[in-house]
Amino acid sequence: MYLDHAATTPVDPRVAAAMAKCLTAEGEFGNPGSTSHDYGAAAATLVEKARAQVAASMGAQADEVVWTSGATEANNLALFGIAEHYRESGRHIVTSRTEHKAVLDPCRELQRRGWQVTYLAPDGDGLIDPAHVAAVLRPDTVLVSIMHVNNEIGVIQDVAAIAAICARHGGARLHVDAAQSVGKCAVDFAGLGVDLLSLSAHKAYGPKGVGALLVSRRERRVHLRALQFGGGQERGLRAGTVPTHQVVGMGLAFELAEEDREAEAARLTSLREHLWQGLEALGGTFRNGAAARSVPQLLNVSFDGVEGESLLAAVRGRLAVSTGSACTSALQEPSYVLRALGRGEVLSESSLRFGLGRATREQDIDTALAVVKEAVSRLRRISGA
Amino acid sequence: MSYSALTLRYFETAPGAGVLDGAGILRGAAGSPAWGTWVQFNLQVSCGAIQAARFLAFACPHTIAVAAWVVEQAVGRDLQITLPEPVEALSKRFAVPIEKRGRLLIVEDAWRAAAGR
């Protein structure tokens, strides 16, 4: 049973059908940059329609959408692009310890190149206090990067408050990694006052290999230095032929996700709480992240008295979930996100992330509960807990 | 992480998991849950021979499987301070990745702690 929708989602059949039409001779296979003939013009029309769909679902303008290969590239373009463009204004960046590696690793690379990075610690619920952001801003701060929805624990950060702080500062642009937000919670790019926002298609029933960076063209226009060159596409910010089928898939996926969002939120909140209540009854269970400030699709739970790798192995084959451990080799490492929340190493490793999705039904939750209860009880017997 | 069929069989069934009660039980442990691996052996010995053996483990599947196999093999043998099979041979038998072989030394230490009492 698949309960790992925070890792990826299956492509919606309607999305797959729309994508397929852009691949073959019968469809819009032309190069969207070749607008001198009908083939290219037809593809360009679809690309711009998709751009408008993404923008509309995110409260942005179409000309603020820059296509990328995914959220990782969008994050890299935002961080390196801002850092390089504003390098004469300052070399200080603020982020948090619970960001995705696609933000943390570029920050570490920027540190290696001479930038200074402040890593904010979340509270025990995984939330970043906007006042802490204000406290660490410096005259030379050029960028603040805070994710919207955390990929491990699902908490939603108060990016509107952080955006207001950055606007008051004047020189600090706010980048938000919103890879986990689409279809899970409302995103209003203009309303939030965010300067840059990273998006991914495959977390929202779209295809892998495509994403976007929203770059504000509001009164406080944001400038970026491009990271790749060779064609001038995407207003020179991201060279390379735009993959029509990929962006068409993303555009439709985002439109569909936004249509279903509120109804899905109510349904999945109910299922998630049913799951948590069942797990809580086991005893020795700890919910990670602020329940009242989380997206409905995600539940992260630590289990006392069981070893993390054994827990994952015990449910594997019957339940597809993620563990709190990052398996970087044969040895697993405790989740750095849960460690940042103050969980000890053992509880950080003995956690499971349940990612609910469109296909999840109540009987799936009941099955998952039975599998996890059996595994935890057995491992606790073996450990004598 | 992938596991051999033997590892999965002993991890999933964990024969011999538990404790032995009563007088004269030899009990020894090594490691710590805080380190990620803890193993305890319980041995019932009569006339120098192991009559019953049990284990507890807070550990990865490889370690649980090895501990389960060790207690299964131990019953009926003369009590010895060494494991029924050396750590190197156990590593091969259960296809333990080289990064995790240190965990088998905890199994060995727990056995020595119990058998040496």
Condensed to tens digits (0 to 9), the pLDDT of residues A363-381 reads: 999 999 999 999 999 999 9
| pLDDT band with cut points at 50, 70 and 90 for residue A80 | very high
Please answer whether residues A285 and A279 qualify as being in contact, where contact means their C-beta atoms are separated by less than 8 angstroms. Answer: yes
> In the prediction, which pLDDT does A325 show?
52
Question: What separation, in Å, do the N-terminal and C-terminal C-alpha atoms of chain B show?
Answer: 36
Q: In 3-state terms, what secondary structure has residue B95?
A: coil
Nearest Cα of chain B lies from the Cα of A370 at a distance, in angstroms, of: 16
Would the CB atoms of A305 and B3 count as touching at under 8 Å? Answer: no
Output the average pLDDT for chain A: 95
Output the DSSP codes for A60-110. Answer: --GGGEEEESSHHHHHHHHHHHHHHHTTTT--EEEEETTS-HHHHHHHHHH
Distance from CA of A345 to the nearest CA of B (A): 7
Across the range A279-294, mean pLDDT stands at 96
Bridge partners of A200, per DSSP, are A211
Which chain B residues are closer than 8 Å to A381 by Cβ? 17-18
Distance, in Å, from the CA atom of A187 to the CA atom of A196, rounded to the nearest integer, reads 13
Query: Beta strand B37-46 with B49-58: parallel, antiparallel or unpaired?
Result: antiparallel
Q: In chain A, which residues have their Cβ closer than 8 Å to the Cβ of B19?
A: 384
The model's pLDDT over A10-47, given as tens digits with 9 standing for 90+, comes to: 999 999 999 999 999 999 999 999 989 999 999 999 99
Indicate whether A329 pLDDT > 50: no
Task: Write the residue in A306, A313, A381 that is nearest to B11 by C-beta.
Answer: A313
Dist CA A351 CA A109 (whole Å): 29
Over residues A53-77, the pLDDT tens digits come to 999 999 999 999 999 999 999 999 9
pLDDT of residue A330: 53
Shortest distance between the Cα of B109 and any Cα of chain A, in A, equals: 17
Q: Record the pTM.
A: 0.93
Q: Phi/psi of residue A330, each to 5°? A: -65, -25
Question: What is the predicted pLDDT for the residue at B7?
Answer: 97
Residue of A nearest to B67 (CA): A382
**Nearest Cα to A81, choosing from A237, A307, A262, A254?**
A237
Tens-digit pLDDT profile for residues A94-147: 999 999 999 999 999 999 999 999 999 999 999 999 999 999 999 999 999 999
State the ipTM, two decimals.
0.95
Across A172-199, average pLDDT: 97
pLDDT digits (tens, 9 = 90+) for A217-246: 988 889 999 999 998 899 999 999 999 999
The CA-atom distances, in angstroms, between A254 and each of A151, A160, A354, B13 are: 18, 22, 22, 46
Confidence of residue B22 (pLDDT cuts 50, 70, 90): confident
By Cβ distance, the residue of B14, B38, B99 closest to A330 is B99
Q: Is pLDDT at B100 greater than 70 in this prediction?
A: yes
Question: Do A15 and A249 contact (CB within 8 A), yes or no?
Answer: yes
Nearest to A247 by CA among A6, A62, A105: A62
**How many Å apart are CA B63 and CA A42, to the nearest integer?**
60
